[in-house]
Each structure stands twice: as C-alpha cells, then as structure tokens.
Structure 1
Amino acid sequence: MQACPGEDTKAAGMASEGQVGFVSIIIPNWNGKHFLKDCLDSLIRQSYKDLEIIVVDNGSKDGSIEFLADNYPQVRVPRFEKNTGFSVAVNRGIRESKGEYIALINNDTVVDGLWVEELVKALNTHPEIGSVGCKMLGYDDRTLLDGVGDGYRRGGLPGRIGHREKDTGLFDSERYILGACGGAAMYRRAMFVDIGLFDEDYFAYLEDVDMGLRAQSAGYKCLYVPSAIIYHLGCGTTGSGYSPLVVRLSAQNNFNTLIKNIPGSLLIKFIPQICFWQAYYLAVVCVRGGRVLAWFEGFGRFLLMLPRMLKKRQAINKGRRVSLNYLEEIIVQSERDLEAARMRLNKQALEARENNSVKSTEAERKAEADLSTAKEEPVESTKSGKL
C-alpha cells in the first residue's frame, strides 16, 4: 500500500518498521500527576511484558515530571514546554516509539491485567484490521460502560457507542466498529506509516474519529475486542463537556471531519442529516451550557481552516481504496448503533425512575403505617401517681 500524499500528519521521522511483537504504550499527560500512579502500576502489572511505556508531558506544572523521574525511571518522558494538545503529543510519542504495535491510553485510566495481551492477540489474528478497540468501563462504577468504540452519524456528529449503558453482556462479542476511542486503542505501526499520524490541526476532540474514517477509507478495518478491558475516570483533565473550550473545539472539528473525510457525492447526499445534527448540537449547547458564542467561534475557525482541510481532503480521496457504498454503509451502521444505544439508555433511565418511584411509594406507605401504629400505642405516664 502506498502512503496517502499531502497529509501534514505523515509519519516523518518515524521508523517504518518496529520491533516485531513489541508494544509501545503512549500516554499524553497534562497536569495529571494524581492519575499517574494507578495508571502506570496497572501497565507494569500486564501479563504481556514485551512493551515500553512513554508518557508525553504537555507542559505540566503539577510536578508530574519529577514524580515520574523519582518513581518510574523505566518510563520515557518526552516533554513540551506548553500544552500542545492531544494530537501533537501522541504523534511525538509515536515517532519516538519502537513497537510494531502502538497503544494509546488516557492518563485517567486503569487497565486490566490482560489488556495488552488480548489486543495483540487480535492484531495477530486479523490481518485485515489496522486498529483495535476495547471495552471501556467506568472507573468508579464498573457496571457502567464508558464506551465500546467511536460512532459517527451522516450529519457529522460523533458519539461513543454504549456510553453510560449498563454492562449487561450485549457487548461481549467481537465486532467491527468504525474506529477505536483514542483514549484506549492499539494500532499497527504499518498503518500509521501508510496513512499518516493524528491530524495536528485537531488540538483535542474528534482526532480519533478522523483517524478512524481515514483508516477505513484506506482499507483498514477496526475490531472491538471485549476481552480487553480498561477502566476510565473520564474528563479527568479536560473539564466539562459543555465548557467553552470543549464546545469550540467540538464545533470546529465536527465540520473539519466532515469536509476532510466524506467524499463529495456522499456529502451532498448527507446534507439533510448535516443540517439536522449540527443544528441539534447547537441547540443542546444553548440549552445545557449557554455556549452559543463558543460554537460560533468554532465554526468561524473552521472557515479559516477550510483551505487547509480541502488540501487534506484531496489527499484522502486520492488514497481511498474502498467503494463509496462501503463508506456509506459503515457510517449508516454506526449511526444505527448510536441510535440503538440512545434508545437503550432512555429505557434504562425510565426503568430507574420507575424503580425509584416504587421505592419512594413503599417508603411513604411504611412511614404512614409506622405513624398509625405509633398513634394507637398507649403512652406511659412519666409521673409516679404519688404526691
């Protein structure tokens, strides 16, 4: 396979071949010292030992670098003077890595002891895949799914499949997905060499969705591996889902991802969905966070970046190795997965409300019964009856 030309994310400075069977685990870190011990200890305890750990520090001021030097001398720590964002940080880690396989995890995660082993096994077994995702569970409530992979709608709005659903066994089988969440994924080095690294115009958010779409376009499938489990605290160092920064970056990258990755005929076909879902996101932002100015700032930045995105679009289209029907099919299926997940989550919430209502009614009845009993019982006098 030939590399897609024109990408500014091409793997310059990266070894084209890694050590066979070796895994490089890359963790971007920005002021995440309080997460690092649990995360790194879980990696050190992995059953799969042929690995290296690289923590790319993004200008932390909380003592992260000193903590790593004092407690984890075996961990390599490339560093930046300021926060460069997710893509720049992980790209540096990838360029400095040695592995045939490259894993990315967030610093606010703890991995199961078989996590690396199960993902390597899947990559060795399935030559058609370029990446693998895993089962992400909540860190505090491990009965809740954090997600099982990235989803994407024809309207350009991403989502995490299974997010906040109860882990009832529905996602206990391997399946192809559109892409893996960048906070818990493993990739073939060969795929990065072929299609390029993460887009450094994405400071944060949707860079993994963009990678998933680019990989699919180039013919690399992604496999969800439920036997690989990771526990994610979520939003540990990036803040609220409706902060001005999150809204601005999400709006900007929603449009960047559409323009870069969706071929012209599909883009025209998806116009009704694009209008609906982007208006929906703006409405949600207004209602939940009141961040309408941040949304428009993100849209404005997208317009300024449009010439650059169009050049990247040209390169991606030139390197496409799958049919338009295939691209449309995986996006539509991903949209169905997100809708099914939304319906299950709504049902789950309704059942929880009904259960709480029943419990509340039972508690009220018990309280009334206790009060009635108390009224019927004779009250003993506190007087002796003697003068």
Structure 2
Amino acid sequence: MDTLAIVILNYNGKPFLEKFLPDVVANADGHPVYVADSASRDDSVTFLRATFPAVRVIELPQNEGYAGGYNRALDLIRTTYGGATYYVLLNSDIEVTANWIQPILTLLETNPNVVACQPKIRSYQERQLFEHAGAAGGFLDWLGYVFCRGRVFATFETDHGQYDDNRPVFWATGACLFVRADVFHQLGGFDADFFAHMEEIDWCWRAQRLGYEVWTCGQSTVYHVGGGTLHKSNPHKTYLNYRNSLFMLYKNWPANVWLWPKVLLRLTLDGLSSILFLKAGQWRDIVAILRAHFAFYGRLPALHRQRKALQQTQRTEVILYPRSLVWQYFGEGKKTFEEVIK
C-alpha cells in the first residue's frame, strides 16, 4: 500500500494537464500520481499516455462530476492499485510548489484524529491574494453561508503570513484536499447527488459529526486558477452552489434546531440574493436559483431519509459560526475574516 496517492480528476482538461502536471510529477516526492479521466471528449488520455508514462491513468466510463468521479476513482485505487493511506484530491488547474506535501503529511501522521487537511490556496493570476476556493481554511455560519480565512464573499485578502499556522477549520477545500483514505471510504465518500460543488463541505461536516477533525496547514501553499471545468460566470455553477447548499444544510443541521424556520429564512435570503444578479443583468442566474429551489423541494423525501440516518450515527454535535455572515458583511461592513470573527 502506498503512503500517499495524488489523484487528479480530469474532464476535457488537456491544457491544464499540459501546464500543471509536469510540476505535480516533479514535486510528488516519490508518491504515485493518478489522473482519473471522466470520459473526456478531447485527447487527454492519448496525451497522458504518450507524455507521462509514469502517471497512472484511470479511464472512467462517464462524467459523474467531482463527487461521483472521485468516488469511483478512489474506489478503483483501493481495489485495483493496492490503495493508499492518504489521498490528495488535486484539481487539474492547481500549480503546486516545492515541499507542498510533507508539511501536511506530517500533520496527518502526528494527529490521527485529523482526517482532512488543506494547504493555503492562493490565486494563480494575482499571486499574493488568497483564492476563492478555500483560501486558508473554511467555515460555515448558522445559515450555511461559507467563508474562509483570507476570503469573505468577494473580498480577498493579501497573504502576508497572517494564516501561516496549523489549526482546525470547519471545511477544507476540494481544490487540494488531503484525506485519510479509510475514513473517506468509511463515510461512503462524497454524496454523489451533489455532482459538483460543496460536496467536500458536506463530507467534512459528516466527518466531524463522527468526532473527527478537519485542519488547515499554513506551511504548504499552492496556486489555483479557478473555474477550470465550470467558470464562476456559468449559471449552472450558480444552480449547483445554491442547490447543494440546501441539500447539505437539510441533511446536517442539528436535530435540536427549528429546522423549517431556518430553511425558510435561508430560502428567503437566496431569493434576495437574486437582486445582485438582477442588477448585473444576469437573468439566467436568477432562473438557476429558482431551479435550485425546486430541485431541493423534489429531493426532500430522500434528504429526510439521509438526515435521519446521519442522526442515528452521530457521535458529537458540530458547532457552526453563530452569527449571520450576510448581516456582518453587507450590514456591518465587515469584509475580512478577522473583522468577522472579532
């Protein structure tokens, strides 16, 4: 069994593989690199086999998104390739740096209760700024709005070493996610119904409900292009983010909360957020929000069954950030992580 497997999920991403895979291979520290291809329509697989013979290529039969694709790929690594103690789930549009692996691997090996960890994620284009997808570790407010050390909504901080520590967080980003393999499979992997976006937050929440911890490691840094498969301006991304957030909240909100008042408040705030899209003339995003809400309603019976099952296995309560991030950011003008948590 390998200690660590670096796994890149690819879908029509040959340009990113050409640009970033050489550095991944050069800085793999002897750990195997896998590319799991989700039935790409470009010539990614031909390119990989011709150019990177040392990379282990897994050809998946169809595109099942980030969630289903990684579930299938990691299960194949476990059953066919001998498995690994840890996985690194690495986006194809990530630029790694020298010594990006060892600090996190050391953290995981010396803290057996930590089951997921991320490095600092900085912007590939504006290299001193933290990047949207995870920054220096993520949190979740009581209504399910995500924020990060280094990024709150559309405000991105400059990295000047303020988050170079190692510490627990609520969620670690799927852009560069180190996970303990046995616990990943113990939890059944990602929720494949999410397809893409927020599945890693849902997984981190479920892991913490079993008493495990999620951390961020400030001694490791990578750079992320962002939007490599689905650009942030794409309405389908809006749909997935709004829909999956509702899926995650309904499943995981504590049993002792007033569930439906919180759901209705969140649905109302989602509706109000469409004003921002209206001002920008992004009508398709408004339609995407409506579609997301109706998808949530249609999924309620299955979500309710998942909620009950998770409550039966839960070992510990998970505490969300107790204030409203929306109010602090838009009402009080608190734009940075330190201002918010103060």
The 5 Å alignment of 1:267-346 reads 267-268=258-259, 270=262, 274=266, 277-288=269-280, 289-290=282-283, 291-323=285-317, 327-328=318-319, 330-332=320-322, 343-344=335-336
Which segments of 5 or more consecutive residues in structure 2 lack a partner in the other structure?
78-82
Residue 191 in structure 1 maps to residue 183 in structure 2: yes
SS at match of 2:22: helix
* 1:161-310 correspondence to structure 2 within 5 Å: 161-163=149-151, 164-239=156-231, 241-268=232-259, 270=262, 274=266, 277-288=269-280, 289-290=282-283, 291-310=285-304
Change (3 A) 1:281 1:218: farther
TM-score norm. by structure 1 comes to 0.76
Q: How far apart are the structure 2 equivalents of 1:193 and 1:82?
A: 21
Q: TM-score, normalised by structure 2?
A: 0.86
Q: Do structure 1's residue 101 and structure 2's residue 86 form an aligned pair?
A: yes
Residues 273 and 118 of structure 1: CA distance in aligned 2, closer, same or farther (over 3 Å): farther
- Distance in 2 (alpha carbons) for counterparts of 1:133 and 1:334: 25
Which of 63, 68, 73 matches 2:43? 63
Root mean square deviation, CA, Å: 2.6
What letter matches 1:274 in structure 2?
R
How far is 1:331 from its partner?
3.6
Between Structure 1 and Structure 2, how many residues are aligned?
321
Range that drifts further, 32-41 or 100-109:
32-41
Tell me how far 1:243 sits from its aligned partner: 2.1
- Counterpart-to-counterpart distance in 1, 2:197 and 2:228: 14
Judge conservation of contact 1:56–1:78 (CA < 8 Å) in 2: yes
Deviations 1:100-130 (A, max 9, x none): 0011010001111211111110101112211
* Aligned-partner Cα distance in 2 for 1:287–1:159: 23
Unaligned runs of 5+ in 1: 1-18, 348-387
Identity within the alignment, %: 26
Larger radius of gyration, structure 1 or 2?
1
Letter in 2 for 1:208: E
Local SS of the residue matching 1:44: helix
Secondary structure, aligned partner of 2:128: coil
The SS at the match of 1:237 is coil
Paired position in structure 1 for 2:95: 110
Paired AA for residue 145 in structure 2: L
Deviation at 1:344, TM superposition (A): 2.9
Alpha-carbon offset, residue 151 of structure 1: 2.5
User: Residues 220-242 of structure 1: CA distance to partner in whole angstroms, max 9, x if unpaired?
Assistant: 11111011111101112212x24
| In 2: Cα distance, 1:217 partner to 1:200 partner | 19
Q: Find the residue that maps to 1:308 and give its secondary structure.
A: helix
Separation (CA, whole Å) in 2 of partners of 1:29 and 1:334: 36
Q: Which amino acid aligns with 1:145?
A: F
